Amino acid sequence: GAGVSQSPSNKVTEKGKDVELRCDPISGHTALYWYRQRLGQGLEFLIYFQGNSAPDKSGLPSDRFSAERTGESVSTLTIQRTQQEDSAVYLCASNPTPGLAGDTDTQYFGPGTRLTVL
Amino acid sequence: GNSVTQMEGPVTLSEEAFLTINCTYTATGYPSLFWYVQYPGEGLQLLLKATKADDKGSNKGFEATYRKETTSFHLEKGSVQVSDSAVYFCALIGGFKTIFGAGTRLFVKA
């Protein structure tokens, strides 16, 4: 596709339920990031995938959060036993192989998934 | 480790005022520096970037100069418009990972 896509765009769930968020990066982009943005706040890094390397999970706030990515394609972010404080917009971004010449270090963001936990 | 610090908001200006949003960074090596913008209800998008010392990034009337001696990348615009109201994020990429600042919200009044 032309850009990063995320689904669903909105998700309302009840406290304690599991949710799965999806990100389709731009084709050919080897790096993929997940961020969380609470209302009126900045970006909180969650996890980073780079090709087939082990992901950088240092930003995941608890073991209820996990993410997977198969190769250089789709990624899913799973939140188990959701809590009200998980309510936020979850953003995905991708960029081509970083560290190379050219515009390969610019991040391209998806529109986000707005998660509301009741 | 790498980090980015930007001035806290919100910043409120009248139309045609001069804008500066400060950004300083800590990094090993020579990172590339970015400003991203998030307009109300939209996703983040790249505003401008600079990849080496003394480079100036510019776009839509905004400018930022990569100052290695002061480890800064301040965002400036000579005359803001209401349509510039948004959240601005300073960022760097170093070691294959992008680090974002906390964001600065700008309100421009007509």
Average pLDDT of the segment spanning A51-61: 90
Does A102 score more than 60 pLDDT?
no
- State percent of chain B over pLDDT 90: 75
Does A98 score more than 70 pLDDT?
no
Note whether A41 contacts B102, CB cutoff 8 Å.
yes
Chain A residue numbers with beta carbons less than 8 Å from the beta carbon of B46 are 106-107
3-state secondary structure of B82: helix
Does B102 score more than 70 pLDDT?
yes
- Per DSSP, what are the bridge partners of residue B33? B50, B92
Residue pairs spanning A and B at CB distance below 8 A = 49
- State percent of chain A over pLDDT 90: 64
pLDDT tens, residue by residue, A57-69 = 999 999 999 999 9
pLDDT at A100: 59
B57 in contact with chain A, both atoms CB, cutoff 8 A: no
Strands (E), B1-110: 3-6, 11-14, 19-21, 23-26, 32-38, 44-50, 56-59, 62-65, 75-77, 86-94, 97-100, 104-109
Task: State the Cα–Cα distance between residues B77 and B92, nearest whole angstrom.
Answer: 20
Label the pairing between strands B23-26 and B3-6.
Answer: antiparallel
Instruction: With beta carbons less than 8 A apart as the criterion, state whether A77 and A106 touch.
Output: no
Task: State the Cα–Cα distance between residues B21 and B11, nearest whole angstrom.
Answer: 9
CA-wise closest residue to A4 among A42, A41, A35, A37:
A35
pLDDT at A11: 97
If one compares B71 and A29, the residue with the highest pLDDT of the two is B71
Average pLDDT, chain B: 93
Does A50 score more than 90 pLDDT?
no
Does A1 score more than 90 pLDDT?
no
The two tokens of residue B97 are 């990972």
pLDDT tens, residue by residue, B38-91 = 998 888 999 999 999 999 999 999 999 999 999 999 999 999 999 999 999 999
Residue A109 is nearest to which of B44, B99, B105, comparing CB atoms? B44
Indicate the pLDDT class of residue A30, thresholds 50, 70 and 90.
confident
Average pLDDT of the segment spanning A76-102: 87
Average pLDDT, chain A: 90
Residue B89 is nearest to which of A42, A98, A112, comparing CB atoms? A42
